[in-house]
Structure 1
Amino acid sequence: MKEASPAITLQRATEEHIDGLVALYSYPQVSRQVLQMPYPSAAIWRTRLGLENERLLPLLALNQGEVIGNCSLEQYARVRRGHSGGIGMAVAPAWQGQGVGSRLLAAVLEVADNWMGLQRVELTVFADNQPALALYKRHGFEVEGQLRDYAMRDGRLTDVYSMARLQRRER
């Protein structure tokens, strides 16, 4: 993996980035690896951005203003799950393997640890997505289980791994 270019900036997603998010998640190589439908609409992304939701951090990687990656962190709203959050991410095919995902993930985990005080961050990843699995493991995530026939992809039910990264706090 190469280190991400210094020309890449990280920024919170805003209304002006919606078209870039639609473009990012419209790549077939991206849409097949995330738990979203292909051909996303701007209206769906406007809702997903949760511009009024303080518990949601939709973080983007930009190169010369173009959206090349996204990693969202959301703290769960339920009281008994408030110590936890979930992430979802995607990187444009041309930028995969260049450190973009690592920068995004490190940034949202820093917020999870030092601003939200989350003790558990979790995600699901397709079991055959070796680059993503390696990235998550490098950032402290561990596989907690395999969910069989979890999601439809390419016309077939496909397994995912449930992964989590725990921060043990002294009591």
Structure 2
Amino acid sequence: MSANAITIRRANPQDAAAFARIMGDAEVYPGLLQLPYPSEERLRVWLADMQQAGQPDLLLLAERGGNVVGSAGLHPAGNSLRRRHAMFLGLSVVREAQRLGVGSALMQALCDYADGWAHVLRLELTVYVDNVAAIALYRKFGFAVEGTHRAYALRDGAYVDAHAMARLHPRPPVLPSVA
């Protein structure tokens, strides 16, 4: 395997330092709903909670050249029985690994998992309207803008708008025909 190959794997509590590095990167967190100065210990507890049996969340990491360069997750869209078919998606890639296929590898893994294994009909996300590269990535995987949230979040002292984007399962499962 080449040094530039991208490996996708499930995150575990020992990855807390890598998560903190990504989420604390001044080039990354402004594009997320994260705050500066993440707590490595809090992330370790959160990652441990995600390992518990029955947790519907999926947390993935992308490694390139032996370094963690991205993260992605699927999370329930809510607790309502009527929303069990939907999951919320989050993704982050360190600046030096952007536009090198990391985001696409993570998105492919999330979509494959959602479509083939997790009984997910609808994937949802929000993305800041000025994050042109992320919007293009999401469109590549079948997401469409469904609306725009005005003044969605505070980012570095200014309110920013965000698009609500979603993707429906391209080939929803069907029951086999009765012979």
The TM-score with structure 1 as length reference comes to: 0.91
Question: Residues 71-110 of structure 1 correspond to what in structure 2 (within 5 A)?
Answer: 71-76=72-77, 77-110=79-112
Moved over 6 A (4+): none
> Aligned pair 1:51/2:47, yes or no?
no
Residue in structure 2 matching 1:119, options 106, 118, 121:
121
Map of 2:22 onto structure 1: 24
Residue 5 of structure 1, CA deviation: 6.8
Map of 2:160 onto structure 1: 158
Task: Say what the alpha-carbon RMSD is for the aligned residues.
Answer: 1.8
Matched-pair contact (CA < 8 Å) for 2:4–2:65: no
Residue 64 to residue 5, structure 1, CA distance change in 2 (3 Å): closer
CA distance, structure 2, for counterparts of residue 157 and residue 107 of structure 1: 32
Map of 1:35 onto structure 2: 33
Name the larger-Rg structure. 2
CA distance, structure 2, for counterparts of residue 81 and residue 141 of structure 1: 18
Give the gaps of 5 or more residues in structure 1. Answer: none
Identity over aligned pairs, percent: 38
> Aligned pair 1:15/2:16, yes or no?
no
Residue 120 to residue 41, structure 1, CA distance change in 2 (3 Å): same
CA distance, structure 1, for counterparts of residue 3 and residue 30 of structure 2: 26
Residue 81 of structure 1, CA deviation: 0.5
CA distance, structure 2, for counterparts of residue 156 and residue 33 of structure 1: 13
The TM-score with structure 2 as length reference comes to: 0.87
The alignment partner of 1:18 has SS state of helix
Give the gaps of 5 or more residues in structure 2. Answer: none
